[in-house]
């Protein structure tokens, strides 16, 4: 459960899915190009978070259509944030971070965008750091596990 507001569960869930989608689109575009890894990661995350399928081709089409405009994302963050609990707000930042990491380049523009997403959705600095740390620990654990599996071969 990711909501904490007074809106209907269905409305909050729909808004949450949209803000996750917009945040991922925006972070893909911040460096000026969209890599295949970012598209695949965004599609996988969207499916994991929402249970709905969005193809990499649809994500690219949405990005090309300008659906990730900064003003639209900012408005969505301000609208959705108060209706989510800290888990939901953190999930938005984590989804965007995973997409940002997917192309192997994590620049200052992506860092600033993630900080803006966190502020816009209402995460405190400590909550933001905890959300980032959780993703980075999971990434480190996955790399370590892959290394162990490879050494066992």
> Residue 76 above 80 pLDDT?
yes
How far is CA 64 from its chain centroid? 18
Dist. CA 136–CA 127, nearest whole Å:
14
Q: Does this model's pTM top 0.95?
A: no
Whether pLDDT at 134 is above 60: yes
- Region 108-129 average pLDDT: 96
pLDDT of residue 140: 81
- Mean pLDDT in residue range 91-118: 93
pLDDT at 6: 63
pLDDT exceeds cutoff 90 at 64: no
Distance CA 95, CA 77 (A): 14
- 90 contacts: CB under 8 Å, gap ≥ 6: 123, 127, 130, 131, 134
């Amino acid at each position: 459960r990711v909501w904490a507001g007074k809106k209907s569960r269905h409305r909050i869930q729909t808004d949450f899915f949209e803000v996750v989608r917009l945040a991922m689109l925006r972070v893909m575009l911040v460096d000026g190009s969209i890599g295949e890894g970012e598209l695949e990661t965004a599609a996988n995350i969207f499916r994991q978070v929402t249970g709905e399928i969005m193809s990499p081709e649809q994500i690219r089409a949405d990005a090309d259509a300008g659906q990730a405009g900064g003003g639209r994302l900012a408005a969505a963050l301000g609208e959705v944030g108060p209706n989510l609990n800290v888990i939901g707000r953190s999930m938005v930042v984590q989804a965007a971070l995973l997409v940002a990491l997917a192309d192997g380049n994590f620049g200052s523009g992506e860092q600033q965008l993630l900080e803006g997403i966190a502020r816009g959705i209402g995460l405190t600095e400590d909550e933001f750091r905890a959300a980032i740390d959780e993703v980075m620990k999971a990434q480190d654990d996955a790399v370590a596990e892959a290394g162990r599996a490879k050494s066992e071969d």
